[in-house]
Chains A and B, each alone.
Chain A
């Protein structure tokens, strides 16, 4: 079995994001970067599945040379190979899906695991678009039934069940948890409650340096970077006016009743 996992390079989730003076982008000075946290969860699941199924895990990132760092991390966490699709400009979700389709056609994985969204553009589209372009079934928002502090999680067993022809996935939906079975090959996007990703261990970081990391361009893949959605600019959020501190429950309720008039 082969599993393809996406590992997008994004600003660290604790970053304070500020817009540049021209409003054309964000100020990148002093920012640190990481694998998109949802992709980390996808990768963790892939590595757990590998433990059970003798699978090969291939990590792919679309980005600049800097994204090599995230791919090395992915290799240290347990991916067997990595592919960097080199681009100068960030792609929109649609282009990213076309790139991934081309990679899937080369690699022929049984399963693609990806984060449900990247925490930079928060678009939540690429997995669904990829599934559509491949004509594959999709299961979005994969989760596990048990909590992340449960015994089941401590066992580090995969939550997604896979056999030769099908995958069984628990999905987080409005109203509860839904279990679906889908035919492979398939695209699965993962949510927060699937697993707790591991950190790479030091010896594995060293070993990862020797694992294969290939670079390809859009030309190699025969994909053109025609965006269907263009970002024209950024603006700050309207500020909220500063609030007050209250000393007691009495005072709080008085204010909510008489000042804010919401109780």
Chain B
């Protein structure tokens, strides 16, 4: 039977949570289109992770375990996915629209001659897709015209499915890569953080250019830590080097939809809103009452962050103690 192939994503041997959101879409699509669900996990020493993917109704879990796959690189991963896609007659190939997904999926689409819908938020009954365009100002409905389709999913738009007790076959993928790779990873400068990952957190506290310097950043960090929150930022804060680039929330950064989002000293440019307007509750703190962020916020406080953030920290500590 024809199938749908979900590419699971791992980082250093742990599955990324967003894979399960992608799985939510893949399961739905498998049912709707009458396809078998197959999952691929690629990496080095990733056999153990396959177990975590059991219980989601997959027909098979394919494990591509090879030292050449340890660090993600476009070409080796493309080869592994395309070969498997042919073997299992995959009509749809899908993954989360992470940095890796964005790098990999178009390349796969090109190689398979498939059309690709990027960053979708919904699949309709007729098999067409909805996706945000113009920095999420509007939603486009698109149709992929090829039989085979490649789809990247926006994590915040799909819920992770419940785990059941079914077992999928586990298949070891024979990894044989053609030709020497033309891309070599020379170095990796990791961002170290004890905080929850931005796209996975229940609460996100974001600071803008207004943080100004380390002192302002520390303030936002302290509030984040007190709330067990992930930290986010505006582009302007990242450009200024105040915080690591990957904390950028927005059109061209991370898309988040936590239960609670704090925008502190962030003006609310449309590019920023594109990444957080799906949040359940939005709090804005800004000293400018005209800041566009207030039009979106559920709760707005017009104030100087350097005054009220420390106040919040004290007050939360007090309430927690009580």
Interface residues of A (CB under 8 A from B): 11, 13-14, 16-17, 19, 26, 38, 92-94, 97, 116-117, 119-126, 128-129, 131-133, 136-141, 143, 145-150, 168, 172-183, 186, 191-193, 227-237, 240, 243-250, 252-253, 255-257, 260, 262-263
Bound-state Cα–Cα, A181 to B130, Å: 37
- Known A128-B103, A246-B301: A192·B235 in contact at CB below 8 Å: yes
Which of B21-29, B44-52, B54-62, B142-150 forms part of the interface with chain A? B142-150
Q: Would you call B182 and A182 a contact (CB within 8 A)?
A: yes
B138:A19 contact, CB within 8 angstroms: yes
Shortest distance in angstroms between B140's beta carbon and chain A's nearest beta carbon? 5
| Interface pair B298/A243, CB less than 8 Å apart | yes
Interface of B is mostly: mixed
Q: Are A179 and B141 in contact, CB atoms less than 8 angstroms apart?
A: no
Residues of A within 8 A of B277 (CB): 237, 240
Tell me which residues across on chain B come within 8 A of A123, comparing CB atoms.
Answer: 118-119
Q: In the complex, which residue of chain A has the Cβ closest to the Cβ of B75?
A: A137
B contact residues vs A (CB 8 Å cutoff): 11, 16, 74-75, 78, 98-100, 102-103, 105-107, 109-111, 114-119, 128, 130-146, 181-191, 203, 227, 235, 238-241, 244-246, 248, 251-252, 259-260, 270-271, 277, 280-283, 294, 296-302, 308, 311-312, 315-316, 319
Beyond A176-B190, A181-B184, 15 additional pairs, beta carbon < 8 A: A13-B135, A13-B270, A13-B271, A120-B134, A128-B105, A129-B110, A132-B110, A140-B102, A173-B99, A192-B238, A229-B116, A234-B141, A237-B277, A250-B315, A255-B299
With A119-B135, A122-B134, A260-B281 as known contacts, state yes or no: A132 contacts B106, CB within 8 Å: yes
Q: Is the CB of A148 within 8 A of B283?
A: no
A13→B134 CA distance, assembly (Å): 9
CB-based contact A260/B298 at 8 Å: yes
Assuming the A-B contacts A117-B252, A137-B183, A150-B241, are A228 and B116 also in contact, with contact meaning beta carbons closer than 8 angstroms in the complex?
A: yes
A237 close to B138 (CB less than 8 A): yes
Q: State the CA gap A186–B294 with chains docked (Å).
A: 44
CB distance from B189 to the nearest CB of A (A): 4
**CB pair B75 A256 closer than 8 Å:** no
Given known contacts A174-B98, A182-B182, A122 and B245 CB-to-CB distance under 8 angstroms = no
Q: A245-B300, A252-B299 are in contact. Are A181 and B186 (CB under 8 A)?
A: yes
Residues of A within 8 A of B300 (CB): 243-246
Q: Is B143 touching A229 in the complex (CB atoms < 8 A)?
A: yes
Residues of A within 8 A of B133 (CB): 120-122, 234
Q: Which residues from chain B contact A131 at a C-beta distance below 8 Å?
A: 107
The minimal Cβ–Cβ distance linking A147 to chain B, given in whole angstroms, is: 2
Q: Which residues of chain B come closer than 8 Å to A94, judged between CB atoms?
A: 109-110, 115-116
CB contact under 8 A between A262 and B281, given known A128-B106, A228-B146, A246-B299: yes
Query: Does A119 lie within 8 Å of B251, measured CB to CB?
Result: yes
Q: CB within 8 A of B259: which of A125, A179, A180, A262?
A: A262
